[in-house]
Chains A and B, each alone.
Chain A
Amino acid sequence: MNNLIILPIIIPFIIGAVLIIFAKHHRLQRVVSGFTAVGMLILSIYLAIVVYQDGVIVLEAGNWAAPFGIVLVADMFATLMVLLTSLLSAACLFFAFKTITPKREKFFFYPFYFFLLVGVNGAFLTGDIFNLFVFFEVMLLSSYALIVNGGTKYQLRESFKYVIINVFASALFVVAVAWLYSVTGTLNMAHISERVAELEQTGVVNVIAIMFFIVFASKGALFPLYFWLPKSYFGPPAAIAALFGGLLTKVGIYAIIRVFTLIFYHEPTYTHKAVIVTIAGFTMLFGVLGAVSQFDFKRILSYHIISQVGYMVMGLGIFTPLAVAGAIYYIVHHMIVKTALFLFAGAAERVTGTTDLKKMGGLLKTHPVLSWMFFISAISLAGIPPFSGFFSKFPIILAGFQEEQYIISGVALLVGLLTLFSMMKIFSYAFWGKQKHTDEQAKLPIGKLLLPIAPLVALTIILGIAAEPIFQYSLQVAEQIMDPSIYIESVLKE
């Protein structure tokens, strides 16, 4: 029964390994990977339901008791993230079937795709800090291979920078783990949390906390460590850019939230309310300013990732149950909508052959379904009431005012406005106006491309309409992660 929680890690691992053997048979690869993606989705929904009903599930690898062996821990937050991962990866995979060229496909696209999922799911489910590092590396190595897949000049140039930044951040991660090990003498996250609580947050613990924050901030693209993101996400094909945009930075955010609710929660006035909130404010502001200044479909979306990561971290920084619940709701909303928007960028690129907004126009006339679906996602991202973006920003900003963090709440409201501005810029340039693509291009059937995106758009509407039950769920998740004793007791079994 407990072995259930290793399945999201082991299934993509086995499938990825098997797919290496059939690397050149791309039809077989598609069938196998398609069925696996759907199976993973069903499995992760089941896992989320089981954890919701029965509480935290812990798997001790090799039957070694908690602080000595590696544990996998599935609490509500982790299973929620695994569920979202399966959802996004399935959508991007089905989009990739239609868009990715056979040349790219044959160079081990699907094996790396599944190894990426191994890393991401492992990072969500692990309960060991060094194991988290290893799963980060699994994820990053596959992402290096995917981001450079195709080997165009642009990709090679920008992927090099992406790899260098991540190698540097990973080295800092090991440094942080080494310091934490020398202070606490353990690697199990629940056990570290206990030991840190005994230390009563002395100066060295604050230093280690900020070190972890720097590491995860550079993975999650927070100010001032976001500079690599917009350029490197521009290179790869739309399906991969969408998967990265939806997933990879959120693994960093997940790690920040996990570490700062489970281990370093003893001095929130310094770590949360000063450092994290300030960084979140700058992240939101600079990200959205970058988006406003750009004139390219994909680049605007890339800068929006940065500004929205800021909202999640702001929710953590305010550190009340309401704010953390808002942050979790925001992660759900953002992952779905961001992936959908990147896939729309890919579909629009398929039609017009460019992502430069000045060379696009008039998609509304020739492809109305694409346009209106994009419009729904765009205003959902900006936070217009009937859709999910509003209900996820509202609790964060409300909590900000309740905690008298007026500046950050003001920044969040302003950023919402600028987000709306830049999304409307895309809409008015690419979709409205005169038709700039040829009539031949206008006749391109893209119905099949829209099929994998449609569930994501439907979900953002559902998340908006069914805001009450989903907010209640986020609130339960937030209460669970803000009470570390639940996690510690289920791991260490005292």
Chain B
Amino acid sequence: MEILMSIIIGIIFTVSVYLFLSRSIIRVVLGTLLLSHGVHLLLITMSELQRGAPPLLNLGAESYTDPLPQALVLTAIVIAFGVTSLLLVMVYRTYKEHETDDLEELRGSADE
């Protein structure tokens, strides 16, 4: 199971890096979104996907899944969400001011 997850995460990373390197500004933002998905899946995978009950004590199960990575992922999701919303607003403002979404045109002049 971990191997399957690792391959999928690898594919997500590949796609996101490809998007990072593209010209359109919104595709770069999509790249950051995908990257954060990959990272969160990796965080869950790396703590071993052992079989067990959800970490709720009233289930009275024999074994539980590791609760720590879930808390970490929850934190990381919220942070990524905040950063993404800020980034989207910044992209919107940049588009309004510069009237382009092409990163080649957002390079700045040579004498700067």
- Point out residues on A near B: beta carbons under 8 Å: 130, 133-134, 137, 140-141, 144-145, 148, 151, 153-154, 156-160, 163-164, 167-168, 170-171, 174-175, 177-179, 181-182, 187, 231
Are A160 and B25 CB-contacts (below 8 A) given A130-B75, A153-B98, A171-B39? yes
Pair A156/B75 contact, Cβ less than 8 Å: no
Pair B32/A168 contact, Cβ less than 8 Å: yes
Nearest Cβ distance between residue A384 and chain B, in whole angstroms?
32
Residue B48 CB within 8 A of the other chain = yes
Pair A157/B106 contact, Cβ less than 8 Å: yes
- B41-98 residues with Cβ-Cβ distance < 8 A to A are 42-43, 45-48, 68-69, 72, 75-76, 79, 82-83, 86-87, 90-91, 93-94, 97-98
Assembly CA distance A160 to B25 (angstroms): 9
Nearest Cβ distance between residue A484 and chain B, in whole angstroms?
24
Assembly CA distance A156 to B99 (angstroms): 12
Pair B98/A156 contact, Cβ less than 8 Å: yes
Give the chain A neighbours of B45 by CB distance below 8 A. Answer: 178
Nearest Cβ distance between residue B46 and chain A, in whole angstroms?
4
- Chain A, residue nearest B29 (CB): A164
Pair A141/B82 contact, Cβ less than 8 Å: yes
Pair A175/B32 contact, Cβ less than 8 Å: no
Give the chain A neighbours of B47 by CB distance below 8 A. Answer: 178, 181-182
Pair B93/A164 contact, Cβ less than 8 Å: no
Give the chain B neighbours of A158 by CB distance below 8 A. Answer: 108
Nearest Cβ distance between residue A144 and chain B, in whole angstroms?
6
Are A148 and B76 CB-contacts (below 8 A) given A164-B32, A182-B48? no
Interface residue SS majority, chain B:
helix
Pair A156/B93 contact, Cβ less than 8 Å: yes
Q: Which of B48, B72, B97 is within 8 Å of A153, CB to CB?
A: B97
Give the chain B neighbours of A154 by CB distance below 8 A. Answer: 108, 112
Assembly CA distance A167 to B101 (angstroms): 19
Pair A156/B28 contact, Cβ less than 8 Å: no
Most buried by B among A144, A168, A174: A174
Nearest Cβ distance between residue B79 and chain A, in whole angstroms?
5
Nearest Cβ distance between residue B82 and chain A, in whole angstroms?
6
Give the chain B neighbours of A182 by CB distance below 8 A. Answer: 46-48
Q: Which of B68, B69, B76, B94 is within 8 Å of A157, CB to CB?
A: B94
Pair B79/A163 contact, Cβ less than 8 Å: no
Complex interface bits, B26-43 against A, C-beta within 8 A gives 1, otherwise 0? 001000100110111011
- Chain B, residue nearest A68 (CB): B68
Query: Beyond the given A167-B35, A175-B42, A177-B43, could you list 6 further A-B residue pairs with CB under 8 A, ordered by the A residue number?
Result: A141-B82, A160-B25, A167-B32, A170-B83, A171-B36, A178-B46
Nearest Cβ distance between residue B13 and chain A, in whole angstroms?
9
Pair B46/A181 contact, Cβ less than 8 Å: yes
Q: Which of A144, A170, A187 is within 8 Å of B68, CB to CB?
A: A187
Assembly CA distance A160 to B112 (angstroms): 17
Nearest Cβ distance between residue B101 and chain A, in whole angstroms?
11
Nearest Cβ distance between residue A333 and chain B, in whole angstroms?
31
Give the chain B neighbours of A164 by CB distance below 8 A. Answer: 20, 28, 32, 87
Assembly CA distance A292 to B105 (angstroms): 27
Give the chain A neighbours of B106 by CB distance below 8 A. Answer: 157, 160
Assembly CA distance A140 to B80 (angstroms): 12
Q: Which of A133, A163, A170, A175 is within 8 Å of B86, CB to CB?
A: A163
Nearest Cβ distance between residue A138 and chain B, in whole angstroms?
9
Nearest Cβ distance between residue A187 and chain B, in whole angstroms?
7
- Chain B, residue nearest A144 (CB): B86
Give the chain B neighbours of A148 by CB distance below 8 A. Answer: 90
Give the chain A neighbours of B20 by CB distance below 8 A. Answer: 164, 168
Give the chain A neighbours of B76 by CB distance below 8 A. Answer: 133, 174
CB-CB nearest 7 A-B residue pairs? A182-B46, A178-B46, A178-B43, A156-B94, A174-B39, A171-B39, A137-B79
Give the chain A neighbours of B35 by CB distance below 8 A. Answer: 167-168, 171
Give the chain B neighbours of A170 by CB distance below 8 A. Answer: 79, 83
